[in-house]
Structure 1
Amino acid sequence: MYDVYLNERNDLLVVPRGNSIPIDLNRNWRKKRIVRSVSEQIREDVRLYGYHRRKLPLSRSMKTLAEKQA
Structure 2
Amino acid sequence: MGDDKTFTSPEARASGSDDPDIRHLAERYGITLEQARDLRDRCGDDQPLLEREVQELKGGRHA
Q: TM bucket by the smaller chain?
A: under 0.3
The structure whose RCO (Cα within 8 Å, separation 6+) is larger is 1
Which has a greater percent of strand? 1
Q: Scaled by the length of structure 1, what TM-score is found? A: 0.23
Which has a greater percent of helix? 2
Q: Scaled by the length of structure 2, what TM-score is found? A: 0.24
